[in-house]
Structure 1
Amino acid sequence: MIKGKYANLNGMKMYYEVSGQGDPLIVLHGAYMNIISMGEIIPKLARTHKVYALEFQGHGRTNDIDRPITYPNLAEDVAAFMDVLSLKKADVFGYSVGAEVGLQLAIRHQEKVNKLIAASAAYDLEGWQPEYKAAIPQMTVEMMVNMPFAEDYRKLAPNPEGFPALVEKMIALEKEPMTWEEDVKKLKTPVLIIAGDADVATLEHTITMFRLLGGGVMGDMGKHLPDSRLAIMPATSHTAVITQTDLLIAFIEPFLKGETPKGFFE
């Protein structure tokens, strides 16, 4: 069993676990999640990497602090985490909110991110599915307090009664402006975008993000393929992305190793 540790940073005690051997890979979980609820992807990644899995402000075993939960704030926490552990540079895998944080980390601290895997991400609020955009203004604390992840929160949190306060911050996060197109366009960090074909971001938005990163060109024409990549998971909703670990590994490992399938002309 992996024994977790705490890193003191930005006024909080951030819980994290380290597993495996190899090049460093930071894993960032989704909203209302924790290391446990990320499932089998962490131990599978730890077969070939030294995995640093952390829990964000107010999530899992990390305490909440008197500060809004925003993507820039969470990205700065990850940057501080790397400094505390003397990690100069690492690959990063983020899912959902963790993918947004990974994007912000690469935007704000490009020197710290070797390669980024962003699963179920968007760079603009307009990229969310119309049904989801319509649901955001209707979100309330009362809707969330009886969800299964509320009980998970109470089992792990330093303050078991703090869930309603966390929900308020997470609802505010959903409404936070996201207009990162110019920042994404300037990124030099290779990004593997992973999305379900029935994800919370539209396919059109996901493809546009790939094009912003230099993707969408024709291969087999003697040109170097873009460093960034796109993988769409069939018959996959947002919450089903993280459960398909074998498929995720099949996308992630060649990307991190820099391997590409060989065509007829190579």
Structure 2
Amino acid sequence: MKGVSIKTEDGNLYCSVSGVGDPLLLLHGNGEDHQIFEQQVSHFSKDFQVIALDTRGHGRSDHGKGVLTFQKIAQDILSVLRYFNLSKVNIMGFSDGGNLALYFGSHYPEKVNKLIVIGANYKVNGLKKDSLTEVKRDYVLLTVLGSFLLKAAKKRQIIDLMWHQLDLSSADLMAIEAPTLIVAGEDDVIEESHTRKIHELVINSELMIVPKASHFLMVEKYEEFNQFATEFLFNNSLSSYNYS
């Protein structure tokens, strides 16, 4: 495993890179970094070139200038692909990273081979009530603190990726061409009806609702997750599983 710093016009992006084979880009959730994928990196690097990105404003990547948006982070992903000279990539995105994967897959379909999205939502009201309340509360608090603390102002932008910046539409999801695996826990912070709606809109998709699992199912049940995600990446299906 090695660390790579990629220079962009608006700061540097950090990636952890390991393994050889078809490229697999990992996109972490809001407020996290690439280390959330520890169990996935060790598993998938046996068969893939795993590129675990710290997205803009997270981990070792710079925040850059201006407001954080999905459009700007999607441009960062294009920068990563250019750096590694990749025409297409498999993407695995968790939580907010799953939302970003959906955005990238819909706006740059020619760049995506396969998608795996875990605990994603394309509308803010896809979050369960308690989680949505928490997002709004944190945003308001950071708005106040951000008036005199730069760190809080930047943190508010990160939180806002889950609220005002989440601008996916039904038409966006219908534009996704890549085979897509949609995963959520039975006890996820995302409404199950919302997860099923994503499955309905992404035409070429499979759905897996993992029993007795939370939003962090890929950490809690990493062996099970890694196994069915591997099957999907190799076979485009989950023929060995009774998925929902």
Within 5 Å, give how 1:12-51 maps onto structure 2.
12-51=11-50
TM-score (norm 2): 0.87
In structure 1, C-alpha distance between the alignment counterparts of 2:240 and 2:46, rounded to whole Å = 26
Query: For residues 168 and 260 of structure 1, do their structure 2 counterparts lie closer, same or farther at Cα, with a shift above 3 Å needed?
Result: closer
Tell me the residue number matched to 1:257: 234
In structure 2, C-alpha distance between the alignment counterparts of 1:44 and 1:9, rounded to whole Å = 30
Residues 103-147 of structure 1: CA distance to partner in whole angstroms, max 9, x if unpaired?
11111111110000001101112211122223332115868xxxx
Query: For residues 262 and 125 of structure 1, do their structure 2 counterparts lie closer, same or farther at Cα, with a shift above 3 Å needed?
Result: closer
Query: For residues 61 and 261 of structure 1, do their structure 2 counterparts lie closer, same or farther at Cα, with a shift above 3 Å needed?
Result: same
Gaps of 5+ in 1: 144-160, 215-226
Amino acid at match of 1:236: A
TM-score (norm 1): 0.80
Residues 8-42 of structure 1: CA distance to partner in whole angstroms, max 9, x if unpaired?
12411111121112111111111111122332111
In structure 1, C-alpha distance between the alignment counterparts of 2:155 and 2:193, rounded to whole Å = 29
Tell me the residue number matched to 1:106: 105
Kept after mapping to 2: 8 A contact 1:14/1:56: yes
In structure 2, C-alpha distance between the alignment counterparts of 1:243 and 1:213, rounded to whole Å = 26
1:182 and 2:182 correspond = no
Kept after mapping to 2: 8 A contact 1:125/1:179: no
In structure 1, C-alpha distance between the alignment counterparts of 2:9 and 2:189, rounded to whole Å = 31
Tell me the residue number matched to 1:128: 127
Amino acid at match of 2:225: L
Amino acid at match of 1:178: D
In structure 2, C-alpha distance between the alignment counterparts of 1:70 and 1:32, rounded to whole Å = 14
1:196 corresponds to which of 180, 185, 198 = 185
RMSD across aligned C-alpha pairs, in angstroms? Answer: 2.2
Q: Which moves more between the two structures, 229-238 or 33-42?
A: 33-42
Gaps of 5+ in 2: 143-148
Kept after mapping to 2: 8 A contact 1:124/1:181: no
**Secondary structure at the residue paired with 1:63?**
coil
- Following superposition, the deviation at residue 242 of structure 1 comes to 3.3
Query: For residues 253 and 241 of structure 1, do their structure 2 counterparts lie closer, same or farther at Cα, with a shift above 3 Å needed?
Result: closer
Residues 34-78 of structure 1: CA distance to partner in whole angstroms, max 9, x if unpaired?
122332111111111111111111211111111222222212211
In structure 2, C-alpha distance between the alignment counterparts of 1:237 and 1:129, rounded to whole Å = 13
Within 5 Å, give how 1:162-241 maps onto structure 2.
163-176=151-164, 177-214=166-203, 227-241=204-218
- Following superposition, the deviation at residue 246 of structure 1 comes to 0.8
Kept after mapping to 1: 8 A contact 2:96/2:162: no
Which 4+ stretches in 1 moved above 6 angstroms? Answer: none
* Identity value in percent: 27
Residues 151-196 of structure 1: CA distance to partner in whole angstroms, max 9, x if unpaired?
xxxxxxxxxx974343111222222243421111122111100101
Bigger CA radius of gyration? 1
In structure 2, C-alpha distance between the alignment counterparts of 1:133 and 1:106, rounded to whole Å = 25
Amino acid at match of 1:57: R
Count of residue correspondences: 233
Query: For residues 248 and 162 of structure 1, do their structure 2 counterparts lie closer, same or farther at Cα, with a shift above 3 Å needed?
Result: farther
Kept after mapping to 1: 8 A contact 2:57/2:158: no
**Secondary structure at the residue paired with 1:7?**
strand
